[in-house]
Amino acid sequence: MSEDLEYDVFSSTCPSRPVLEDVTGRWGALALGALADGPLRFNELRRHVDGVSQKMLAQSLQALERDGLVVRDVQSTFPLKVEYSLTPTGAVLAGKLLDLIGYLTTSMPSIITAQQTYDEAHTD
């Protein structure tokens, strides 16, 4: 039952395409990764994801919240407090993202070398 593998990110019309962009997008991936260690407030998240603007962070978090990967918890105290955390699905995706990021960072030395070689060969 319910064994429909109808979702294919390689198809441009598949609903999974925009979700993949939310998850692997420029800021979405880093936001998910940052939340893997535990809940964070908006500005904590902003400090952790170095370089992100308020607008893009808010936008990325809204997208992830809509996809059911992140939960936004508002404490209506003063000062206002808003905590973001991962849902179970979000946590799994964040883990896979961190796995990828970890491999990428350990590969950086060889990647840097490749870039230098490439750039030297393309000094047109």
Site residues for a copy of itself per CB under 8 A: 2, 5, 7-12, 15-17, 19-21, 23-26, 29-30, 33-34, 48-51, 65-69, 89, 92-93, 96-97, 99-101, 103-115, 117-119
Q: Which residues contact 26 (CB under 8 A, 6 or more apart)?
A: 56
* Segment lying near DNA (by CB under 7 A), choices 2-10, 40-48, 94-102, 109-117: 40-48
Instruction: Please list, in sequence order, all residues whose beta carbon lies within 8 angstroms of the beta carbon of residue 45, skipping any fewer than 6 positions away.
Output: 31, 34, 35, 57, 61, 84
Region 81-110 residues binding DNA, contact defined as CB under 7 A: 81-82
- Closest distance of CB 54 from a copy of itself, Å: 15
Tell me the closest approach of the beta carbon of residue 74 to a copy of itself, in angstroms: 14
Which of 47/99 has CB closer to DNA? Answer: 47
Least gap, CB of 116 to a copy of itself (angstroms): 10
CA distance 71 to 84: 6
Q: Which residues, in sequence order, are bridge partners of residue 75? A: 81
Cα–Cα dist 87/93, whole Å: 10
